Structure 1
Amino acid sequence: MNDIGIEVTLKEWLYNAGIVGFVNIVGKENINVVDNSTISFSKEVLHGFENKYFEYFIDTYEKLLPWYKIISYESEIIRFENNDFDTFDEKNLEQLNTYIKDIVKKYIKSNSYKAAYPLMKNETDLLDLEKKLKTIPTPKKSETFSDKKAVIVDEVKERFSILKNIITCCKSQDGRRYLAGKNVIYNQIKNGWDGVCFLNPQTKEKDMYVDFKNHFVTPTEEYIDEEDTKRKYHCFVCDRSIKNLNLDLSFLNQTGFDTSRKSSHVWNFTNDVGICPICRLIYSCAPAGFTYVYNQGLFVNDSTTIENLLRVNDNIKMSTLQQNDTSVRTVNTYYALTKAIQEQFSGKMKFELADIQIVRYENESYRFNVLSRLTLSVLNQSKEAIIKLLNTGFREGNTNFNLYELVMKKLFNNENLFTSIHKLIIYKLSNVSNLYYNIGHVNHMLEINTNFLREVGRMEGLVKEEVRKANQFGYYFRKAYKDKGSDNKLSGISYKLLNALKTNNINMFMDVLLNCYSYLKKQVPELFLQVFTNDETFKTIGYAFVAGIIDNSIKNEEGRE
């Protein structure tokens, strides 16, 4: 081995995430693409790697860190001081108190920050400032804010003086290096590995930069330099020669295991799972290969080529973090994935690629899906309908559900949407509270589901326009009942139709339909003959019809008229 070209090759998903993370950390300009599945780098790239490692996480996730929440209030302080507090009102006082209580005091006295203070050269005693920092009492019910404003502003000025010292210390070079560094350890890095280095509670080295270098970087540099004549084992991952099996995969979350305690996990109870320092360094970079936002992570293992792997994950990272910057109500990793897919697999490319593995990190565990050509085609056909579901959802108990995420999960698992569509229509019909969608969004889901069923070959005869007609027939059905003064019967009819759809009972559905159209003295639309084609066509037409019955919005009425 020489220091001119240290090669690493794509393997399984976690190692590939480590390769993407390594490239993100050192920069694409410092690696060479040997072929479609291999990159190489020189030993010089490892100089100062521990600094590059933390800088990548801090730079990438800066605006999501508690450290940034502390320093970002500086602009508010400057704004109020510049206008001599003329615009400071009761709402601003409430926001200031929340900032002091829930952000500054909470994080400044946290154990992770306390551990960082001895490493900082700044002489400011943040813990002493935190003790002096108090919230400001709000006016009593018998008082108005205007009456107390002069007194309140004096107290605000005093708090601002303390806060400016705290913010200055946090914004300093050491403040960013160590306080923001502590944040990324527990918010991002810990998602990928744990229990060793600075994530080992018994570590003797207090400086996480030095600890990372000693644990991962220095062993790699020494391994590259040493002679391999006395190595009798081979790396479990890359097959390079190694002296012993002391390094293993036990530090990886949900993947590795302690070989000294669980010998039953290996063949014949004899451990052969040892890795070289190079692979260990690559695995430590896996968190940098994922995109993490609010306890969710995403990595696309498009291992067809190195370039595709880097490109699609870079697109996901930009889409996700841009989404956060633009203050979308819910940061949705599925949205970032879909947007990246549309950019990555546009045109002919989407038809050339094989199935792609999607790895999601949720609730401290990994979940896997395969993004097939079928799914790519459905996403491409339904991109306009899917995007309209982004900020829609409903609440069940204490849990919020996003329709965009719900639909994407179903598609990635190759499941149809009938169960979700049924639930959403029932909720609307029953006037359930905490619903953040309308029947128009249900119609978008029907369109997506139709595209999906057509791709899997279950509904070749039915076209999108016929689904829209079924929805319109439902609207005119409702209008006819209203004209007869019998609109009070519509709820009961809808429940009967939905029950027939849920139990897949075509005869019951048609009986109800024939009786209702006989009552209206109207002919049953010829479209309903298609319900006898197959179960999927029956449910699609049926749900579109019922959705039209309960959709009585003015917008739809004007459009149809």
Structure 2
Amino acid sequence: MERIYLGDWLYNAGIVGFLKINSHLWKIGNGKLESTDEGLLKIGDNYIGIDRKIFEGFSKRFFDYAFKQYGRYENLLKLFDEYLNDLNSLDKEENAEKLRKRYFRNEELSFKDLKKSLPIEIHGRFKKILDGFILLKKKLGKVPSKNEIKKDKDLLVKYLEKSIKIMKTEKNNFWESDVQIYLRRIYGQKSFLNKSVNKNRFEKFYKDFEGLLLSSSIKYDRVFKCINCVERKAKKDTIFDTGISKFYGLNPDSVNFMWNFKSKLPLCDICEIIYFSYFAGLTPVRKNEKTHFYFVNSDSSVEELLKENLLLESILKRDAKENFLLEFFTELILIAETKKGRIYSSKCSSHRA
């Protein structure tokens, strides 16, 4: 088994991400983190052990996790469906107040004015979305103009229906494209995230990672061991720069001062994939039209590291208020005190016996 020990905060985020991507191999029962298949995954105190067979199907799990975390596809399908329902319910006056509040807030609009204004408003929002959703925009072709919508709102209804149909029937294309778009913002230009890769993205990732990790065809550096684990042989020509992280302070320029004036740092194939999994260890929260990422670092144990980040994730999913950290640390202290109380109770019971 390959051992993966706790390390710096980014690597620890990678361990958490790797465990989340492979969530089918562990569970938390009675407050304890346990492996469900110790042949593939062993959970130690300050490390996880993995058999290389764990990488069978890893590429799909990796893409599925990133696709779900990004969430654009599902959110837009839901939004387009809402637009359709609202346009189709516009003819009934009893729906006017609800629609006015949803799209025009406190503006005073008569039912007649609402019927004219709502299709134009939805058309504007739809076009704005398409400007940032290039794949769908290309597949849709020419969108009706504002004047055409004024004359016939059913043209907009048809285009929304067409959008939903395209997204559902060609989901795999959006799956690959959205994962690339999302992870480019986090990692940079590594592997399938390179700007030159505009098709077969999943295949590229499989070839660069899963395929190599499962085979014995990896080319290793003749001299260096991995700079991170200092145990396994370094993978030949691994670039440890913005392909690993945009915000970690490693790029070809700064790396030159760190490692013998070279832009390549020796990293093994296992540590490379752990670093490449750190996106899944972060909890993204959308605030003020920006995505913020949160992570709690801990070097006490793998179990505590994972559980603390799962707790943070659950709190942020409930409601990302300004005082969420206060709520997080309060719950963390309560858990620690409860755990301490159980240990004390157990000791007392043992002493009486």
TM-score bin (small chain): 0.7 to 0.9
Q: CA deviation at 1:208?
A: 2.0
- 2:228 match: 237
Alpha-carbon spacing, 1:262–1:164, altered in 2? closer, same or farther (3 Å) = same
Distance 1:23 1:69, change over 3 A: same
CA displacement, residues 333-379 of structure 1 (integer Å, 9 cap, x when unaligned): x5443333222231544998xxxxxxxxxxxxxxxxxxxxxxxxxxx
Pair 1:200-2:197 in alignment? no
Deviation at residue 16 of structure 1 after TM alignment: 0.5
Q: Output aligned runs, 1:183-332, within 5 Å.
A: 183-187=178-182, 189-203=183-197, 206-222=199-215, 231-242=222-233, 245-250=236-241, 251=243, 252-255=245-248, 257-258=250-251, 262-266=255-259, 269=261, 273-293=265-285, 294-323=290-319, 331-332=320-321
Q: How does 1:341-420 map to 2 (within 5 A)?
A: 341-346=329-334, 348-349=336-337
2:124 is the alignment partner of 1:113: no
Q: Cα gap change, 1:343/1:28 in structure 2, threshold over 3 Å: closer, same or farther?
A: farther
**What residue identity is the alignment partner of 2:325?**
L
Q: Is the 8 A contact 1:217 1:281 kept in 2?
A: no
Q: How high is the sequence identity, in percent, across the aligned residues?
A: 18
Give the C-alpha shift of residue 43 in structure 1.
Answer: 2.8
Deviations, residues 290-323 of structure 1 (Å, cap 9, x unaligned):
1122321110002211111111211222222332
Q: TM-score, normalised by structure 2?
A: 0.72
* 1:166 CA displacement: 0.9
Q: Compare relative contact order (CA 8 Å, sep 6+) and give the higher one, 1 or 2.
A: 2
Q: Deviations over 1:56-89 (max 9, x none)?
A: 1332342xx2662354231342365368544355
Q: Secondary structure at the match of 1:236?
A: coil
Alpha-carbon RMSD across the aligned residues, in angstroms, is: 3.5
C-alpha contact (below 8 Å) 2:255/2:263 kept by paired residues: no
Q: Please report how far the alpha carbon of residue 15 of structure 1 lies from its aligned counterpart in structure 2 after TM superposition.
A: 0.4
- Equivalent residues of 1:234, 1:240 under 8 A apart: yes
Q: How does 1:126-145 map to 2 (within 5 A)?
A: 127=138, 129-135=140-146
Cα deviation, residue 270, structure 1: 6.7
SS in 1 for 2:293: strand
The partner residue of 2:326 within 321, 324, 338 is: 338
CA contact (8 A) 1:233 1:245 kept: no
Shift of 1:253: 1.5
Instruction: Tell me the secondary structure at the aligned position of residue 253 of structure 1.
Output: coil
Deviations 1:264-313 (A, max 9, x none): 3225x478831011111111111111112232111000221111111121
Work out the CA distance in 2 between the residues paired with 1:113 and 1:281: 29
SS at match of 1:249: coil
Structure label with greater radius of gyration:
1
**8 Å CA contact 1:113, 1:179 repeated in 2:** no
Aligned to 2:103: none
Change (3 A) 1:43 1:181: same
Residues in 2 aligned to 1:260 and 1:297: alpha-carbon distance in whole angstroms = 26
**AA partner of residue 239 (structure 1):** V
Secondary structure of 2:124's counterpart equals: helix
Residue 55 of structure 1 is matched in structure 2 by: 64
Please tell me whether residue 101 in structure 1 is matched to residue 124 in structure 2.
Answer: yes
The correspondence of residues 387-466 of structure 1 with structure 2, limited to 5 A, is none
Is 1:157 the equivalent of 2:150? no
Name the residue aligned to 1:182: 177
Cα separation, 1, equivalents of 2:300 and 2:338 = 12
**Contact kept in structure 2, 1:290 and 1:298, CA below 8 Å:** yes
Q: What is the rounded CA distance, in whole Å, between the counterparts of 2:196 and 2:301 in structure 1?
A: 41
Does the aligned pair in 1 maintain the 2:234–2:266 contact within 8 Å?
A: no
The 3 A distance-change label for structure 1 pair 83 and 266 is: closer
Equivalent residue, structure 2, for 1:23 = 19
Q: 3-state SS of the aligned residue for 1:131?
A: coil
- Give the corresponding residue for 1:170: 167
Q: Which amino acid aligns with 2:331?
A: E
SS for the counterpart of 1:72 is helix
Question: TM-score under structure 1 normalisation?
Answer: 0.48
8 A contact 1:233–1:241 mirrored in 2: no
Give the AA of the match of 1:284: F
Q: Which runs of 5+ in 2 are unaligned?
A: 27-34, 36-40, 97-110, 341-353
TM-aligned CA distance change 1:273 to 1:335, over 3 Å: same
- Following superposition, the deviation at residue 156 of structure 1 comes to 2.0
What are the ranges of 5 or more consecutive residues in structure 1 without an aligned counterpart? 118-125, 139-151, 324-330, 353-561
**Matched-pair contact (CA < 8 Å) for 1:6–1:41:** yes
Shift of 1:243: 5.7
Counterpart pick for 1:68 among 66, 69, 75:
75
The CA deviation at 1:39 is 1.3
